[in-house]
Amino acid sequence: MREEETLDYLNELENKTIYIIREAYSRFRNTALLWSMGKDSTTLLWITRKAFFGHIPFPVIHIDTGFKFREIYAFRDRYAKEWGLDLIISNNAAALQAGVHPEKGKFRCCHALKTEALKNSIASYKFKALLLAIRRDEHGIRAKERYFSPRDNGFKWNYQKQPVEIWDLYQSKLNSEEHFRIHPLLHWTELDIWKYIQREKIPVVPLYFAKNGLRYRSIGCQDCCSPVNSRADTIRKIISELENTDVAERSGRAQDKEDAYTMQKLRSLGYM
């Protein structure tokens, strides 16, 4: 793709994402954005800042499991301050005190420390819409999602009965106990994200860059992530690598929660 075509394509992606973000905010004033400090959620945060002329008019939530890489925490603290974010750090203190740990079972750990922590935040702050940075190409189960995805009063996602979305018409009717997940990056790919990061000069966690022949393509809890073989130590090299690889993006994640059935079960229960 020529440079001019790439620019036009990235502008098109960005414009659609900004439209979805603004549409969500116009419909749900009690909104928040989930920020994991990964490349996708940082890109979503960046575009959200652009959508509102440099200031995000709603809270940003970090679900802190207590097991993230130290580089993630350093990145969070630096840019939350630099970008003037209204940051909410949420965790499931009861589960942590009870000894929930990735080594004792990834499914139980993800559900308790991520989903239940998010559920607690929604209950505390009465959020009606959450912006998340998932993409269709990231996992087969996420390909079933919609831009405006309802969650019922049990926090569950009915992946077998998704609303139809045509001509940019999005469902937004809620009952009192429900909320919506908004996915403004659903139409992006991993390669799109990196090309946009390169164009915009978006800062990212240094774990994405190769060191001693290894780098992380997907980051989260330290116990659930493994690096992949790579010599891509710059964004340009990452883009080149992605253009020539057949290795799955989440191949470095713990496989006992990444298989299709387990991920589907986790997401049906409210997993991000």
Domain CATH number, residue 164: 3.40.50.620
Same domain? For 249 and 223 the reply is yes
| Of 199, 254, 202, the residue nearest 223 (C-alpha) | 254
pLDDT band, very low/low/confident/very high, at 240 (cuts 50, 70, 90): very high
d(CA 183, CA 21): 9
Whether residue 43 sits in one domain with residue 158:
yes
Q: Does residue 259 register a pLDDT over 90?
A: no
What gap in Å lies between CA 64 and CA 36, rounded to an integer?
A: 8
Domain with 20, as residue range(s), is: 3-189+256-268
Do 210 and 118 lie in one domain? The reply is no
* Domain match, 229 and 177 both: no
Query: Do residue 42 and residue 174 come from a single domain?
Result: yes
Q: How many domains does the chain have?
A: 2
Distance of alpha carbon 156 from alpha carbon 212, whole angstroms: 42
Residue 197 domain flag: no
Q: To which residue do tokens 């793709």 refer?
A: 1
The answer to whether residues 244 and 260 belong to one domain is: no
Residue that the structure tokens 């974010």 belong to: 85
Q: Are residues 127 and 229 in the same domain?
A: no
Amino acid letter at 163?
A: P
Q: How far apart are CA 129 and CA 182, in angstroms?
A: 7
Q: Please indicate, yes or no, whether residues 20 and 153 belong to a single structural domain of this protein.
A: yes
156 shares a domain with 34:
yes
Could you tell me if residue 195 is inside a domain? no
Give the residue-averaged pLDDT of 191-207.
Answer: 98
Task: Decide which of 131 and 137 is more confident.
Answer: 131
Q: How confident is the model at residue 105 (pLDDT cuts 50, 70, 90)?
A: confident
- Give the total residue count for the chain: 272
Query: Do residues 108 and 24 both lie within one domain?
Result: yes
For residue 256, pLDDT beyond 50: no
Q: Which of 44-48, 159-163, 177-181, 194-198 has the lowest mean pLDDT?
A: 159-163
Neighbours of 271 (CB within 10 A): 20
238 and 260 housed in the same domain? no
Place of tokens 């009192």: 176
Q: What would you report as the CA-atom Rg of the chain, rounded to the nearest whole angstrom?
A: 18
Position with higher pLDDT, 228 vs 173: 228
